[in-house]
Structure 1
Amino acid sequence: MNKWLKTILFLMASVFLTRMIPFSSLFRNLDTMIHEFAHALMTLVLSGKVLRIELYADHSGVTYSSMLTPGRSILVSLAGYIGASLFAWLLFYLYRKGRHIWGLGLMTAVALVSLLLYVRGEFGMLWLTGFIALNVVIMIFGAKISKYYYLLLAFITLEESVVSAMYIGWASLTRPSQAGDAANLAQQTFLPALFWGTLFALFALWCARGALTLFFRKEGTANAPRSRRFDRA
């Protein structure tokens, strides 16, 4: 089967299955947190100022920043979807390397920094507090389930990175002025929102393909003799 088709079909099945898990909707804000944190991080890298981040119950979010030139604003707008897709890929890389606790620690650290420095608003602060507390409990007392908890977070993050990018791609076609980051980029460049929305969607699918390749390779080689295991860097 074509690898792209396999990626899409597996993602569709994953979206359906994870939505059957009780309270899984609460974890879908993880991708939003990473998306907005990527905007904030790029702002800081470019010497801008992050004013605040807001996370909402409908899994949307917004980052407010200042002191950015038009050219730098382009990079900040690009960082959200691209950063979220790369982070999802990173979670599967860490899983393949047997470092899922590192991944949990990284998610917790991002949540903690976001809570202490940037996120304002009742829902966002409450969600981050609960997420941090749950992660700490899992890392300390949940050794037997930490791997499965991590995989749940990894798959939900991967799904949301693709679904949100696909949504913005569709929005850039049907209502380009309301297409979020794609609309922002269209205002700052000579390229239409449809170009940016399509770029985000294709990049998310490419990262998803890489992430799932790592996942299946991990499962397929888990019991192989150490001396005969070959990994591609």
Structure 2
Amino acid sequence: MSFVREKLSTKFFLFLVIAFLLIHVPLLGNYAKVINTLIHESGHALIALLGGNVERISLFMNSEGATYSNQSTWIGSFFTSIAGYTFASFMAFLSFLLIGKKKQTLLIDILLVFIFLNLIFWVRNPYGIFWLCSFAVAFLFLLIKGSQAVRDHLLLLIASILLVDSIQSAYEILYLSVIQPYGAGDAANLAQLTVIFPAPVWGMFFFLQSLWFCYFALKRGYYKLRS
């Protein structure tokens, strides 16, 4: 039993290392990171729908993304701006939680819902459509033709990419909020909305919440996998 647990813990951290290395590979890394961008922008869009409307979402080759929405209230704009990084971190946590609970099928369903929701309603730029279609085809092919082991390893890799990139992107916005506060994306938007809290405060918030969700992802995923 101790050997099995040691093997599982080794595999768990191996996938985190693989995810970290993968997202830094030229071209392929940006392609892989778009899964986190998709979740990030979907977080903006879902909250925006509560008090406004979503015009479109763009997913770019450099792994960046943009959500274009209209909000009629200050609070709608506030929660829409805050939703991207927090939703991405939450989804990383949820992915490990579901894997730890052996509910891989539910995780598959959630990922496919995000892909097809964006493809049908929001994403219209050429690369975004290419990414959604290519990822969906490859994802479904591996799930249908691959073995149980292939499916489980694929989902663990996706969860690891979500976790690693949610932390890295949150750190990047923190760094950008310090050296270029007016160009710090969501942190800059929140600084304009709140006035008294500058961009670095929101950059720090995004980074700390990513670490908080990371801790619980490790706790719920890693220890469940070991049990």
TM range (shorter): 0.7 to 0.9
Amino acid in structure 2 at the alignment position of 1:85 = S
In structure 2, the partner of 1:139 is 143
Task: Rate the CA distance shift 1:148–1:50 in 2: closer, same or farther, 3 A.
Answer: same
Which structure shows the higher helix fraction?
2
* Aligned-residue offset at 1:19: 4.6
- Cα displacement (A) at 1:26: 1.9
CA pair 186-128 structure 1, distance change in 2 beyond 3 A: same
Structure number with the bigger relative contact order (C-alpha 8 A, sep ≥ 6) is 2
Which of 194, 197, 210 is the equivalent residue of 2:216? 210
| Cα distance change, pair 97–197 in 1 and its aligned pair in 2 (3 A) | same
Is 1:169–1:200's contact at 8 Å kept on the other side of the alignment? Answer: yes
Q: Which residue of the other structure, out of 200, 212, 216, is the alignment partner of 1:194?
A: 200
Distance 2:98 2:201 in 1: 32
Cα distance, 1:108 vs structure 2: 1.2
Question: Which residue in the other structure is 2:10 paired with?
Answer: none
Q: Cα deviation per residue 1:130-185 (whole Å; 9 max; x = unaligned)?
A: 11112222222223300000011000011111100010011111110010000000
Structure-1 separation of matches of 2:199 and 2:111: 31
Q: Distance in 2 between matches of 1:134 and 1:173?
A: 39
User: What SS class does the counterpart of residue 62 from structure 1 fall into?
Assistant: strand
The answer to whether structure 1 residue 168 and structure 2 residue 173 are counterparts is: yes
1:101 CA displacement = 2.2
Q: CA deviation at 1:15?
A: 4.9
1:101-148 CA distance string (max 9 Å, x none): 221221111010101100011000000011111222222222330000
- Indicate conservation of the 8 Å contact 2:23/2:33, yes or no: no
Report the secondary structure of 1:58's partner residue.
coil
Q: CA deviation at 1:208?
A: 0.7
- In the TM superposition, 1:1-233 aligns within 5 A as 13=17, 15-19=19-23, 23-46=28-51, 48-144=52-148, 145-190=150-195, 191-221=197-227
In 2: Cα distance, 1:139 partner to 1:172 partner: 40
Distance between the aligned counterparts of 2:146 and 2:181, measured in 1?
45
Aligned mates of 1:21, 1:103 — CA distance in 2: 26
Aligned with 2:124: secondary structure?
A: coil
Query: Within 2, Cα distance between the matches of 1:10 and 1:202?
Result: 24
What code does the residue aligned with 1:194 have?
A: P
Distance 1:194 1:52 in 2: 28
RMSD over aligned CA atoms reads 2.1
- Gaps in structure 1 of 5+ consecutive residues: 1-8, 222-233
For structure 2, which runs of at least 5 residues remain unmatched after alignment?
Answer: 1-12
Between Structure 1 and Structure 2, how many residues are aligned? Answer: 212
Question: 2:6: which partner in 1?
Answer: none
Secondary structure of the structure 2 residue equivalent to 1:57: coil
Q: 1:215, 1:194 → 2: CA distance?
A: 31
1:173–1:194 CA contact under 8 A, matched in 2:
yes
Q: How far apart, CA to CA, are the structure 2 residues paired with 1:209 and 1:84? A: 14
Partners of 1:127 and 1:79 in 2: CA distance: 23
Q: Is the 8 A contact 1:14 1:159 kept in 2?
A: no
**Structure 1 residues 21 and 59, CA gap change in structure 2 (3 angstroms):** closer
> Contact 1:101–1:139 (CA<8 Å) still a contact in 2?
no
